[in-house]
């Protein structure tokens, strides 16, 4: 990471500076003559949908962030950027590591993709591992809520997050287009910037982007560690007030892409690098840091209007080389390496009457290693290799007011362990046993309907059967995990996870007013989760020893049900000297272990919110209020979480000119409340940031 940083730091700074300086100089002379540029981006089709339809034509519930809305919502992590979207929470392992949670499901059940291909990082293995895609470079983020296993992979039981970055131009570019942003402030005193540019002659297009961000320890209201956690755990203390110790970060990255575009398709490639060094809050004196580097090469091609039964062919593939090292008090402790390739070949057929659809082949081959470093380092996983091969079929049949959808996929998954891992304190004993291989065959089915009642109202419903193979982590993990403060043991005898679910939606749209409400129910036959056993062990997993002070936890499968609701709406309440919109949102999820009757841990409470969005000429203003209710429906091993009210405000001023310069200011947590997210592993030692103000300047041309 350090070598790349030294090489990339100056070009990144130059690119960001030049992208802003030239528009500022030019805009001062052209403001009076040039037409104002509106930064709002038009609504675009869902790129993750194989038929390329817009969001209101999809049978499944989906949310899209792009244009001005994404610019105002961008945070330092993907989880925090999406947190507050109906049905979406974040794992929040401090301000630097936060993965989306959809409808109460996290980890591998939420598939994170970049341009339609899996991210292949290590964020699903542990909550302290950051997501490999930075929101700074995202042009659009799509969230599909509910099972999306048929099209996107057998593990996508909770949903899909697709980050679109346009690093491979797929449409002709004539001249130059780009955007940039610099920002300062916030609860973590962020200093950051991003520059993105595309140039082309209508046939050949080039893309380049670069970003850089640096933050300090997060400012918080009150103490980081709760009193009850300090009483329960001797390893944490309440000595720090007003600051979340060891939560700063430094990250940077960039990419180059090129593509050849033509009337009926494109072919292109991109190469990107992202590096980050960030602190992990521990609540104690330990200084834990993670040094992460990911390199990714993507290939994309599409040919349309072939004039045969096969109307379109699309191919996407990415090779990712991910690695990070973990340090405890400056001493190396462990290293994770994850490299692999994933791709999709998809063919769309011509319409058969009113029916359109696609057939696709998806493949993945990844190798994961966990290495112990230093005197006290230890590996949590053996060397593992996972291969997946899947075939899927998706069809839609449209009538006058009715759209029917049906799909299915079958996958063959193989998870192989290299075994080994000799214990230095117990010669001849191995943590991970003999080499072994686990084979799984999964089948996923879905069927849905969307009925348009009239020009404004529509109703929809989906039925799904999903199957997910256990991951290498769930099968083979073995050892003390500092992030979760548990001694974790995998279960090599785990069976595949099965579930059946139904969801229903009611949608209304009238000009600039819209409202959506969804309800869902999912029943798992074998929900794989990590459960505390109540036993105490030492660093070697031994019980009843003088140093046995670590809680043991095991992976197992239980019968679990998830049910919930989510809603959002936008209403134009005033037009005249400016436009004023009212926004509403809310969600609720309830998850219960049917075998024990206990609640599933880390389930967010009900949330309700409203906001006002005002625009008048160059001025924009927004107020958002989100109330999270108290969560006292808890597992036996977790504490309840107090209610909170998050109040945020945003103001923008468009300077105008050809380059669309816009000043913005974001005020967060105006009430300066102590907010702890119940879905966070660190809610007892890492609250959200306190009252803060972030200011910045962005441009788009």
DSSP string, 25-46: HHHHHHTTTSPPPP-PPPP---
pLDDT digits over 559-589, tens only? 999 999 999 999 999 998 899 999 999 999 9
- Tokens 């528009």, residue located: 23
Q: What secondary structure letter does DSSP report for 83?
A: B
- Between 264 and 538, the more confident residue is 264
Distances (CA, A) of 343 to 142, 273, 316, 368: 19, 19, 5, 18
pLDDT digits over 103-119, tens only? 999 888 999 999 999 98
- Tokens 């036959």, residue located: 525
The lowest-confidence range among 75-89, 180-194, 273-287, 579-593 is: 273-287
In this structure, the chain runs to a length of: 701
533-550 average pLDDT score: 82
Angular region, 506: left φ>0, alpha ψ -120 to 50, beta rest: beta
CA distance 469 to 416: 13
Residue 53's pLDDT band, with cuts at 50, 70 and 90, is low
Residue 42's pLDDT band, with cuts at 50, 70 and 90, is very low
CA distance 585 to 63: 12
Is the model's pLDDT at 227 over the cut of 60?
yes
510-538 average pLDDT score: 91
Angle at 226 between CA 221 and CA 228, to 5 degrees: 160
Strand partners for 516: 507, 568
- For the chain, the first-to-last Cα distance in angstroms comes to 32
The DSSP string of 285-332 is S--EEEEEEEEEEEEEEEE---SSSEEEEEEEEEEEEEEEEEEETTEE
pLDDT digits over 597-647, tens only? 999 999 999 999 999 999 999 999 999 999 999 999 998 878 999 999 999
Find the domain containing 149 and state its range: 2-700
CA distance 113 to 111: 6
CATH number assigned to the domain comprising residue 500: 2.40.170.20
What are 658's two structure tokens? 């050809």
pLDDT for 236 equals 79
Structural domain total, the chain: 1
- Between 652 and 372, the more confident residue is 652
Nearest to 236 by CA among 226, 247, 244, 246: 226
Residues 6+ apart with CB under 8 A from 623: 611, 612, 647, 648, 649
Compute the chain's Rg from CA coordinates.
25
Nearest to 104 by CA among 669, 631, 674: 631
SS3 363: strand
Is the model's pLDDT at 22 over the cut of 50?
no
Is the model's pLDDT at 14 over the cut of 60?
no
Distances (CA, A) of 32 to 21, 25, 616: 19, 14, 19
What is the bridge-based pairing of β-strands 204-215 and 218-223?
A: unpaired
Residue 532's pLDDT band, with cuts at 50, 70 and 90, is confident
pLDDT for 554 equals 92
Q: What is the mean pLDDT of the chain?
A: 87
What are 199's two structure tokens? 């140039």
SS3 170: coil
User: Residue 658: what are its φ and ψ, rounded to 5°?
Assistant: -60, -30
pLDDT digits over 188-220, tens only? 999 999 999 999 999 999 999 999 999 999 999
Residue 376's pLDDT band, with cuts at 50, 70 and 90, is low
Residue 33's pLDDT band, with cuts at 50, 70 and 90, is very low
pLDDT for 84 equals 86
CA distance 391 to 408: 8
């Amino acid at each position: 990471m350090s070598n790349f940083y030294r090489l990339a730091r100056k070009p990144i700074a130059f690119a960001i500076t030049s992208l802003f300086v030239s528009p500022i100089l030019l805009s001062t002379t052209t403001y009076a003559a040039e037409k104002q540029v509106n930064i709002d981006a038009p609504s675009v089709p869902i790129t993750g949908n194989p038929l390329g339809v817009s969001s209101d034509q999809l049978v499944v519930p989906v949310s899209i962030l792009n244009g001005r809305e994404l610019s105002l919502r961008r945070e330092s992590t993907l989880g925090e950027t999406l947190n507050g979207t109906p049905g979406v929470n974040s794992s929040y392992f401090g301000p630097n590591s936060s993965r989306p949670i959809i409808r109460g499901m996290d980890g591998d059940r939420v598939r994170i993709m970049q341009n339609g291909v899996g991210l292949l990082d290590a964020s699903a293995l542990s909550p302290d591992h950051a997501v490999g895609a930075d929101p700074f470079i995202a042009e659009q983020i799509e969230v599909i809520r509910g099972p999306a296993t048929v099209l996107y992979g057998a593990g996508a039981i909770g949903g899909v997050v697709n980050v679109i970055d346009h690093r491979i131009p797929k449409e002709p570019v004539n001249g130059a287009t780009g955007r940039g942003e610099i920002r300062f402030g916030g609860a973590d005193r962020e200093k950051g910037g991003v520059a993105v540019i595309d140039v082309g002659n209508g046939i050949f297009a080039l893309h380049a982007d670069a970003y850089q961000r640096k933050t300090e320890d997060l400012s918080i209201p009150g103490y980081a560690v709760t009193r009850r956690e300090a009483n329960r755990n001797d390893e944490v203390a309440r000595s720090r007030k007003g600051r979340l110790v060891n939560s700063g970060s430094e990250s940077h990255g960039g990419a180059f892409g090129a593509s050849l575009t033509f009337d009926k398709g494109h072919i292109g490639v991109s190469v990107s690098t992202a590096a980050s060094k960030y602190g992990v809050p521990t609540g104690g004196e330990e200084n834990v840091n993670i040094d992460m580097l990911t390199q990714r090469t993507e290939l994309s091609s599409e040919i349309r209007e072939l004039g045969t039964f096969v109307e379109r062919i699309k191919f996407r593939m990415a090779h990712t080389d991910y690695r990070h090292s973990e340090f405890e008090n400056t001493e190396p402790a462990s290293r994770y390496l994850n490299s692999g390739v994933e791709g999709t070949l998809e063919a769309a057929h011509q319409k058969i009457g009113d029916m359109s659809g696609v057939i696709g082949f998806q493949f993945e081959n990844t190798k994961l290693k966990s290495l112990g470093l230093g005197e006290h380092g230890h590996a949590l996983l053996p060397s593992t290799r996972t291969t997946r091969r899947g075939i899927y079929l998706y069809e839609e049949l449209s009538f006058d007011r009715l759209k029917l959808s049906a799909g299915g996929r079958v996958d063959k998954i193989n998870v192989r362990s290299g075994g080994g891992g000799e214990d230095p304190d117990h010669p001849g004993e191995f943590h991970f046993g003999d080499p072994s291989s686990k084979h799984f065959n999964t089948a996923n089915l879905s069927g849905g309907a969307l009925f348009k009642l009239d020009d404004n109202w529509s109703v929809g419903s989906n039925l799904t059967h999903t199957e997910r193979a256990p991951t290498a982590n769930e099968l083979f993990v073995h050892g003390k995990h500092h992030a979760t403060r548990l001694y974790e043991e995998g279960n090599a005898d785990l069976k595949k996870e099965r579930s059946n679910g139904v969801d229903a939606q009611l949608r209304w749209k009238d000009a600039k007013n819209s409202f959506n409400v969804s309800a869902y129910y999912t029943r798992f036959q074998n929900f794989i989760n990590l459960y505390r056993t109540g036993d105490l062990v030492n660093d070697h997993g031994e019980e009843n020893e003088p140093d046995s002070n670590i809680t043991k936890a095991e992976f197992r499968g239980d019968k679990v049900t998830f049910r919930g609701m989510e809603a959002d709406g936008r209403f134009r309440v005033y037009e005249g000297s400016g436009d004023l919109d009212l926004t509403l949102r809310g969600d609720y999820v309830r998850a219960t272990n049917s075998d024990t009757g206990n609640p599933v841990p880390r389930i967010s409470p009900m949330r309700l919110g409203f906001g006002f969005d005002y625009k008048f000429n160059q001025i924009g203003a927004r107020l958002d209020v989100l109330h999270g209710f108290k969560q006292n429906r808890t597992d036996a091993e977790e504490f309840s979480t107090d209610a909170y009210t998050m109040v945020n405000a945003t103001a923008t001023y468009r300077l105008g000119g050809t380059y669309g310069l816009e000043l913005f200011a974001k005020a967060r947590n105006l009430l300066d409340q102590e907010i702890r997210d119940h879905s966070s592993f660190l809610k007892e030692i890492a609250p959200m940031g306190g009252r803060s103000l972030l200011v910045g300047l962005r441009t788009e041309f």
